[in-house]
Structure 1
């Protein structure tokens, strides 16, 4: 039997939902239990990214032209998040370092004392992604972390130089 579930997200955040299902299946849970676990995990999954520019989101029709123009002119880097299918702007920063600080702060606030599973995603920033993974281990209660490059489809929308964190708080 196959069940389709809208996890209201994509990319590495979707991978965290899939990992929840795979682990439950490996432990021998019934399909109904797996579905329940997946549905319970969806609201706890979020992905946030620091982008170099809004230019690629604008080209893909996901950001207004004026926003892309203004962030480029002012040399601002947008910090965006997606949770439960709702994308929103967390803020603007002047540097990738400030953006990463903002991501870590946001993750810490949302996680509280809960253990996290996290995936650091990047678009051609392997070194920075590994540093962010290490930072998560020292500053956040992570039970496991992974690092991966964004897919070609996601890269077409976020452009080069994007870095982010997908995370899921433990039950």
Structure 2
């Protein structure tokens, strides 16, 4: 039986300790601050990143180097026959398409999955891939199945400040100024391909309520019928905020869907570049039954 390794990137929100416990491999993503490059989980603290962002530093996400990616694949293939690599969605980064191009050098031994997910939805994809690998699926089969199920998830995100959406060109300065004055929080959605605005709210509590309403609508429509091999899971994602606030939002979300298995993961610095601290996301994800 072929040994298939499962690999992801740090945008999955999986910590290094979790990756070790799950037996998956992690590629840590680079972050640029004032032209200095840092690597997530290696030489930068989350608090430092957001302090620099708040001070107005030039903060941008970046793709991993060709060498770091291919060297990692070469090391893994010394122990495994095949690799399934699950990076963040191609809709938010060019790293997925780049990895697909590099994988051609490995004669089919490396299968790169573009299943259009991020953070907690990406985490569930990794878990499904690990389960399939344990059951004996080959790398290509795992890739095909994950991509077929790519859109079986909904995620809604709101931000605490409009400053970074404006900086990234997603909203105009005038909209950002008016929104800040009126405490307007946009509700954004990722339904596979891209990040879109779907609602607006006055304040974080109202934004959370609207996101939950969207989830309930999806629960009653998109996810009304799920086959016996799958189940629906609930997810929470967030950028830098206090543990007290994270616990509060977890509890509030679980109260709305008490019967669903629950998972949470941070929106890492690559996403924090665009949304800033205090961003909150909620999700419904179809996952394989264990």
1:81 — aligned with what?
189
CA deviation string 1:7-56 (max 9, x = no partner): 22333332232222222112222334312320122111232112122211
Say which SS state the counterpart of residue 150 (structure 2) adopts: helix
Which of 154, 163, 168 matches 2:280? Answer: 163
Q: Kindly tell me: are residues 27 and 126 of structure 1, through their superposed partners in 2, closer, same or farther at Cα, counting changes over 3 Å? A: farther
Unmatched segments (≥5 aa) in structure 1: none
Please say if residues 58 and 64 of structure 1, whose CA atoms lie closer than 8 Å, have aligned partners that are also in contact. Answer: yes
SS at match of 1:120: strand
Aligned to 2:116: 8
Whether 2:262 is the aligned partner of 1:145: answer yes
2:246 to 129, 133, 141: 129
In structure 1, distance between residues paired with 2:171 and 2:270: 16
Using the alignment, how far apart are the partners of 1:103 and 1:144 within structure 2? 18
RMSD, aligned α-carbons: 2.3
1:102 paired residue number:
210
Pair 1:134–1:28, CA change in 2 (3 A): farther
Which 4+ runs in 1 deviate beyond 4 A? none
1:142 Cα shift? 5.3
Q: Are 2:163 and 1:55 aligned?
A: yes
**Does the CA-based 8 Å contact 1:125-1:162 persist in structure 2?**
no
2: CA distance between counterparts of 1:142 and 1:125?
26
Aligned mates of 1:164, 1:73 — CA distance in 2: 23
Structure 2 alignment gaps of length 5 or more: 1-108
CA separation in 1, counterparts of 2:268 and 2:219?
26
Quick check: which has more Rg, 1 or 2?
2
Q: Displacement of 1:163 after TM fit? A: 1.0
Deviation at 1:129, TM superposition (A): 3.0
Number of aligned residue pairs: give it.
Answer: 171
Q: TM-score, normalised by structure 2?
A: 0.53
